[in-house]
Structure 1
Amino acid sequence: MQFELSSRGQDVLERVKAFIRDHIEPVEPAFWAEVRATNPSGDWQHWKVPTILEDLKNKAKEQGLWNLWLPDAELGAGLNIQEYAHIAEQTGRSLLAPTVFNCNAPDTGNMEVLWRYGSEEQKKQWLSPLLAGEIRSVFFMTEPDVASSDATNMQATAIIDHDEIVLNGRKWWSSGVGDPHCKIGIFMAHTPNEGRGRHHQHSMVLVPLDTPGVKIERMLPVFGEYDAPHGHGEVSFTNVRVPISNFIVGPGEGFAIAQGRLGPGRIHHCMRCIGAAEKALELMIDRGTQRVAFGKPVINLGGNLERVADARIAIDQARLMTLYAAWKMDTYGTSGAMTEISAIKVIAPNVLQQVVDMAIQIHGGAGVSQDTPLTGFFIQARSLRLADGPDEVHKGVIARIELAKRNTGETKSK
């Protein structure tokens, strides 16, 4: 296997590093300070996005640093998954950078769905403005009344009524729905399909947010933070009617689409975690060497030097595992890398959580304030251990694959 970048990949990576250093890092503290000052509560209807974001996005476009995740040389950077993984690591060092480069979740996943599976009409109406960064999107999947770690529990419905689809249900943790620019959502719901298996009973449906019957009920805080101007909403759908052409691919194809959507996105999330962990380690070392307690630099107290070593070992292990998963996806496709994809979804957020916790401890009170990105990184890590499937689900996938290799009765019974 090869983890080396092509000349094009190396060029894009170096230019991303320079852009983050020269344009994003100098203004990011002021950006988040403005967000907190102008969006102090969960009242998303009055949320505003600082104007500096559009300036940064325009600069990124001008420099060709746009849609870097998309393996299409015309619409994106034309990089493979493993090459983009290195770039995702760099953007993970900043809570703002992914949005600046139009490489932010859930938009990348939604754009990939439309790029791979959307009709020409769907691409023209929704993919084009998403690729241009003119609008934002949301993915409606998780539900409050069922254990959503098992997606077949889904209670929301998408029922065909002549030439329309009627949507009903309630979704929550719908990330990005609070953004003033969010205009379109992908609604995952149950569509009865008699005679087909349990994984052909769900559909993905495009839903404009201004459709009658769509109601944002509230924004959900994460550890007390509303994540403005992005937001994670609880949304109700009451007899929402959209044209039958709003099915993506067709009724009952939701799970098949989801498998194609989740693979690359998991690489993106994991490499961003690794970038955040690197940043946290740097902040930990800087703080530990600059502060003195009991006559010594803080870094020399207790087991702090060992913690630095533990962090370096864990980060490098997570990076190598994620790059290996990316290489296997590039080589064998998502289905050929199921163990590795599941493994990194356990490894990367846990490593980030551990490293950030170490960094917070060395920072003392500053570590739990908003003076550093550490609290944002911690929220990211702890949330991801649920958001893309709980650790336990990913471990279950790994275990089933291992049992299948041995052709055990346990696997047969499944």
Structure 2
Amino acid sequence: MKFSSHKLNMLLTSKYNEIDTSKSLRAIASDIGISAGYLALLRNGSKKNPGPRTVAKLSQFFNIHPNELFENENVASAKMNFSSVKPTLDLCDELISMDRVDKAIDVLNSLLKNQEEELRLANLYEHANMLLAVALARSGKLEEGLQIIDKYLETSVTMAVKALAYYERSRIKYKLGYFQKAIEDTQNAIEIVSANDNPELFKKTSYALGIYYGRVSRYALSIIHYEQARRFIDDQNSEENANILFGLGQTYLLMNEPKTAEHHLLTAKGIYEAFENFESVANANHNLSRCKYLEGDYDGAIRLIHQALELHQKTQSIRGIAYDYVELARCAFKKGDFITSKEMSNRAVNMFETINDEGQAARARLIHYEAAIYAKDKLSNITETLDHIIQYFNAHNWLREFCKAQRIYAIILESNGNHKEAFQLYKQITNKYECYLDEIMFTD
């Protein structure tokens, strides 16, 4: 396969229009990302075999397939070389979608180690690294995935890769509890895909913003972005549409509109049942139980939660089971059964800690403390743990949870005779976080 200096000069002339007079060789080389001396050697034919990194930079710069930089007589073999790694990457993509992330990580690491040249020639090196970052994040190695993505955002990657990198980084930031940072990354991704006409990624980023805005209590924006994502759905009976309806249902729940939420959740549940997606059916039942909870039907809520719990246990969803225990704890609290509430919330704490979810474990602990307060347990020995929880919520900007934790701390202070300090803390919560007062009542 012979590199064509003639084709390179034609491409340069076409891009810059009389490059010898309109722009210096040094400036052109800087645009490409190589040295002026190396570019001169490529142009005059002295350098006949550029490395894969240079070929990748040139093809990205001119927005062409790498084949177009080489002589035609060997194009057939060149195409075979460029396409040899694509099926492997497609396989890794499929493995990730099937949650076989450990296998995907092994294949991608081997590919990046042994076939780097082929990946670079095929302009797929960045894509392979991005898949590895996604696989690492899905396997729970969030920081490792984040390091790979950060590296690519610091370099001059293509806009398509940059948009994907922002999107994937937002998902990791969300899992780490940094909701506002997740929103900022997703907004950057949307800005890029809007300018570059990528409807599939635009749909994904809009859906992600629906989730993220809901988490920071900006419900109107959440609904806008969910509906924006729905406009790109062709099949209304698809699981993709069900996921958006499920998100809308969750948002309307947070807005205390159980009837509207129930409508969306029931529609989503019907689609999930048609696809025999039992874990998602369980998740729908879980949220339908929250509709009953908001309506004051705690027995109805408990029935639905037990249905969800049974399916979550069958599908071995640890996270789903943990959330079910949280909901059972909340219902038991409302029914005045504080012993059961403590038991269920403690189970939730243990399960969230098993999957290293510090944030949700902290939220479950608050329910446990609430029940303990009403059961008139002594809580003087929890102040250190509660301090840590408060610091976590504050660092991650979880304002509702932060307020609730502060309120529990004030109650403990008061029960220990520190009335003045407790009063000051109550006053601080009331003055600074008035907009959350309705949301920090116990087991909201």
Q: Which has the higher helix share?
A: 2
Return the index of the structure with the highest Cα Rg: 2
Give the structure-2-normalised TM-score: 0.24
More strand by share: 1
Task: Return the structure number with greater relative CO, CA threshold 8 A, min gap 6.
Answer: 1
